[in-house]
Amino acid sequence: MIIPILLSSSLFVTFVKDTVWWNTPGGNVTEHRDRNVASCSLTLYNDDGSVTFEWDDPGNVLVTAVDKKWAFPDTGRMPVAMQLGDVWLSNHGGSAVIDAVGHGRAIGFVANQAVDDLLRQAGKIVIKTKGVDLTITLTRSKTRVLLSRMNDCRQSIRK
C-alpha cells in the first residue's frame, strides 16, 4: 500500500530550476523557473536575517523578511512597516502600515510601489512589526550592481 501512495505523490512534483545571476557577500540575484512561471529575486542579508524581493511583475514585488530572533505564531495577518533608506513604503491608502503574513521566523507581504530606485539610493532596510525590527545596512555600490543584475534577469524572463 505504501508504494502506490509514494508513486502517486511523485506525480505532483514540479520541476524548479534556479539560476544564480550574481552572488556577493550580503546579497544575491536568482532566477526561478518552473514549467509555467519565471521570476527573479534579490536577497539582501546580514548575520541577523534577510530581505528578499521577488519580481514577477515590475509593479508588484513580493517581500519576504527572515530574522532568526523572530518567533511569530501561525495566526496569520499582522501589520508591518518597511523603510528603504529614508522612505517608508505605503499601502494603497498612503499609510505606512502594510498587511503582512507572519509565520515562525518569516513575514511576507506585497509592496505595491516600485522599489528599484529606492533600493539604489538606500543605505539601509528597516522592517518593523509587532515590537520587533530587522535592520540591514546596505553598501550602495554593491546594491547598484545587484540591481543591475536583477534587471538583466527580468529582461531574460520577459523573452
What is the per-residue pLDDT across 15-34, written as a single tens digit (0 to 9) for each? 568 889 999 999 999 998 88
Instruction: Tell me the average pLDDT across 32-39.
Output: 84
Instruction: Name, in order, each residue with C-beta under 8 angstroms of 127's C-beta and a sequence gap of 6 or more.
Output: 51, 65, 80, 81, 82, 83, 107, 133, 134
For residue range 143-157, list pLDDT tens digits in order: 999 999 999 998 888
Least Cα distance to 100 among 124, 70, 122, 123 occurs for 70
14-158 CATH fold: Immunoglobulin-like (2.60.40)
The pLDDT of 135-146, averaged and rounded, is 94
Going from N- to C-terminal start, the domains of the chain cover: 14-158
pLDDT band of residue 5 (cuts 50, 70, 90) is very low
Do 43 and 37 meet the contact criterion of CB atoms below 8 Å apart? no
